[in-house]
Chain A
């Protein structure tokens, strides 16, 4: 641990960087709450090796530059090496140089577009082979061949759409158009995109629009008379929290591929949702954003218990191969690539804002961030498994 003073030696100090304000405040607040819940559980159970977790948290305001500045502050002024943080790839990329230079350890809970490995990061969100791959097959087989791609203009949508294009192609589908909107897109811009969708009348829209723009896009979509039942929007990020912001009635029928939905029936999820509601109130949405952030803190705690030290090298060694009964089911940190084994699922929004799981993999799938072993056009969706 960097610069730990004697007065702090009775706690484990960790940093938390999730935005409570700005464009992605909704999802990042859920990351924050999931993290907070896990830390509370761990401390209430007596901490790790008899010492509690002590948190230093800042609000990076959904801004990569602010992320960079606050990560530097955590790593230097605060003398902290373990950080739970970042939602978007732009945010992660912004703080990576600082993390690597100071040999910190970032626990990154969000899905992303892959093609990255840093020895200073544990990636607990989904890789494209755990989301886009089954989604593409599901969409082409169940909704049709003509797919419209829309995204916010940064790296995650660009790369996710590139992958989706290859996948759709491999299942015999066709991309009818690919368009991008700025991060904080004006409503008029999104309105134009919705008009374009209406003109082209695809079978399905794959959207990697994120943040507030995504919420506006879904609202405009419904208001333009486009019907999710016949022409759904499919996404990797649209979860329960944003559905609530948009209005569940406007979202019913849209599709999300993720490894967690609040509606999962397993015992570990019941435990998680019960604790979550008890702590934060019963009307807060529960989604992949909070569940993933929650699970990774528990993985960290297991690793710390093994390592007995916040030293990055020792923590990572202890973390590799660790498994945990997470809200989504059993998950495991892959020892080869620092990413996480997760169970792919596809959900459809219900009228109450929750998701019906319409397909799920039989078990956790190995993360393949470089798509080194995931063939395009592979079979995911068994004939029998249309509805779980």
Chain B
């Protein structure tokens, strides 16, 4: 969650930032401050249909008018997303939430606060990404664990062995065939399903 501040700051030097905001005094103020901080930055308006894929951070104006939902919203593997808001009415707040933004800055845009928002948003983005991949791994592990349990039960019934022996059988199959235990377990479960469907073995 907390990489060294030195690394965070150094990473900003290579950051490729896109500012989606009208080209006015405030848009310029934001671009200039991001340059001062040391980012590679460019502005674009109106919002492009698709985000260029060479940016890792996007500052995006949340509009109040009934325009299409903005193109950039925080998505898996997408860039860090910082929303720019000028109203705090429920419509804008709804859009802010829908965007899954990692950070927010307010209008009128002032130089103070941009660096903090940027650093926090990038850190939150990285943290969220790490959490997501951890959750994904945990889910896979959990499913694998459930499948192995299920396969063990099938073997116990079919081969009349103990649970420990059934587990050992799956493990040695996995080793021999260079597969994961989860893959062997899935095969057993699938096979049992088909065989039962054909009436070759009792269902359960």
Contacts and interface: CB of A to CB of B under 8 A. Distances in A.
B111 A118 contact: yes
A115 interface: yes
B149 interface: no
B186 to A, nearest CB: 51
A256 B5 CA distance: 27
A204 B112 CA distance: 36
Given A118-B112, A119-B111, A166-B6, A370 B32 contact: no
Interface in A160-193: 162, 166
Nearest to A373: B38
A280 interface: no
B112 A370 contact: no
A356 B124 CA distance: 49
A229 interface: no
Contacts of A100: 110
Given A115-B115, A166-B6, A336-B32, A372 B110 contact: no
Contacts of B9: 371
A371 B8 CA distance: 13
A290 interface: no
A100 B35 CA distance: 21
A284 B118 CA distance: 47
A118 B29 CA distance: 11
A119 B37 CA distance: 15
Contact of A370 (B5, B36, B110): B36
B33 interface: yes
Contacts of A116: 112
A337 B115 CA distance: 14
Interface residues of B, number: 16
A117 B35 contact: no
B13 interface: yes
A285 interface: no
Nearest to A117: B111
Contacts of B33: 117
Nearest to A334: B36
Contact of A369 (B5, B6, B13, B36): B36
Interface in A355-380: 369-373
A372 B13 contact: yes
Interface residues of A, number: 15
Contacts of A119: 29, 111
Contacts of B37: 370, 372
Contact of A372 (B5, B29, B38, B112): B38
B111 to A, nearest CB: 5
A370 B36 CA distance: 7
Nearest to B111: A117
Interface in A305-350: 336-337
A372 B115 CA distance: 12
Contact of B36 (A162, A166, A337): A337
A93 to B, nearest CB: 10
Contacts of A117: 33, 36, 111
A369 B33 CA distance: 12
Nearest to A169: B6
B34 to A, nearest CB: 10
Interface string B12-56: 110000000000000001001101111000000000000000000
Contacts of A336: 32, 35-36
Nearest to A166: B6
Interface in B89-124: 110-112, 115
A239 to B, nearest CB: 29
A115 B37 CA distance: 8
A317 B29 CA distance: 14
B146 to A, nearest CB: 49
B28 to A, nearest CB: 11
Nearest to A165: B6
A166 B8 CA distance: 14
Interface string A104-142: 000000000001111100000000000000000000000
A100 B109 CA distance: 13
B9 to A, nearest CB: 7
Interface string B53-69: 00000000000000000
A115 B36 CA distance: 10
A162 B36 CA distance: 20
B29 to A, nearest CB: 8
A371 B38 CA distance: 8
Contacts of B6: 166
Nearest to A97: B112
B30 to A, nearest CB: 12
Interface string B114-142: 01000000000000000000000000000
Given A372-B13, A372-B36, A373-B38, 19 more contacts: A100-B110, A115-B115, A116-B112, A117-B33, A117-B36, A117-B111, A119-B29, A119-B111, A166-B6, A336-B32, A336-B35, A336-B36, A337-B36, A369-B36, A370-B37, A370-B115, A372-B12, A372-B37, A372-B38
10 contacts: A119-B29, A119-B111, A162-B5, A336-B35, A337-B36, A369-B36, A370-B37, A370-B115, A371-B38, A373-B38
10 closest A-B pairs by CB: A372-B38, A117-B111, A370-B37, A337-B36, A370-B36, A117-B36, A370-B38, A166-B6, A372-B37, A118-B111
